[in-house]
Structure 1
Amino acid sequence: MNVRTRILKVAKQKFLKYGFHKVSMDSLVKELRTSKSSLYNHFASKEALVQAVMDSLNNEINTQLEEILNDDKLSFKGKLASVSDFTRNLLISVSEEFLRDLEMNTPDIWDSFQQNRIERINKYYRRLFEIGINENVIRSNVNLDIIIAIYFNLMELPLKNKYIDILNMNNQNIYDDVTDVFLNGIIVK
Structure 2
Amino acid sequence: MPSTAITRPAAAADDVATRARILTAARAEFFAHGYSRLTMDGLAAELGMSKKTLYVYFAGKDEIVSAVIDHLAAEIRADADALLRNRELNLAEKLRGFVEGMIERMSTLSPATVRDLQRFAPTIYAKVEAVRGQTLPYVFGRFVEEGQIAGLVRTSPPAGFAIEFFLHAMQGMMHPATLDRLRLAPRDVVATAIDLFFGGLLTPAGRKQYEKLFIR
State the TM-score bracket (shorter-chain normalisation).
Answer: 0.7 to 0.9
Structure 1: stretches of 5+ with no match in the other structure? none
Residue-by-residue CA offset, 1:9-32 (whole Å, 9 max, x unaligned): 211221122112112221112222
Structure 2 residue aligned with 1:159, among 170, 174, 193? 174
Answer whether contact 1:158 1:175 (CA < 8 A) is retained: no
Answer whether contact 1:14 1:23 (CA < 8 A) is retained: yes
1:121 lines up with 2:132 in the alignment: no
- The 3 A distance-change label for structure 1 pair 8 and 139 is closer
1:9 lines up with 2:31 in the alignment: no
Task: Tell me the distance in 1 between the aligned counterparts of 2:25 and 2:72.
Answer: 13
What is the DSSP-based 3-state SS (H/G/I as helix, E as strand, rest coil) of the residue aligned with 2:181? helix
Tell me which residue corresponds to 1:110: 125
- The 3 A distance-change label for structure 1 pair 5 and 134 is closer
Answer whether contact 1:157 1:164 (CA < 8 A) is retained: no
Q: How big is the shift at 1:146?
A: 1.3
1:101 lines up with 2:130 in the alignment: no
Runs of 4+ in structure 1 over 6 Å off: none
TM-score by length of 1: 0.86
1:50 lines up with 2:76 in the alignment: no
Matched residue type, 2:137 = N
- The 3 A distance-change label for structure 1 pair 18 and 25 is same
Matches within 5 A, 1:131-146: 131-146=146-161
Structure 2: stretches of 5+ with no match in the other structure? 1-13, 201-216
What is the DSSP-based 3-state SS (H/G/I as helix, E as strand, rest coil) of the residue aligned with 1:54? helix
Tell me which residue corresponds to 1:68: 83
Task: Tell me the distance in 1 between the aligned counterparts of 2:181 and 2:29.
Answer: 27
1:130 lines up with 2:140 in the alignment: no
Task: Tell me the distance in 2 between the aligned counterparts of 1:66 and 1:102.
Answer: 29
Matched residue type, 2:73 = N
Tell me which residue corresponds to 1:148: 163
Figure out how many residues of one structure are paired with residues of the other and give that number.
185
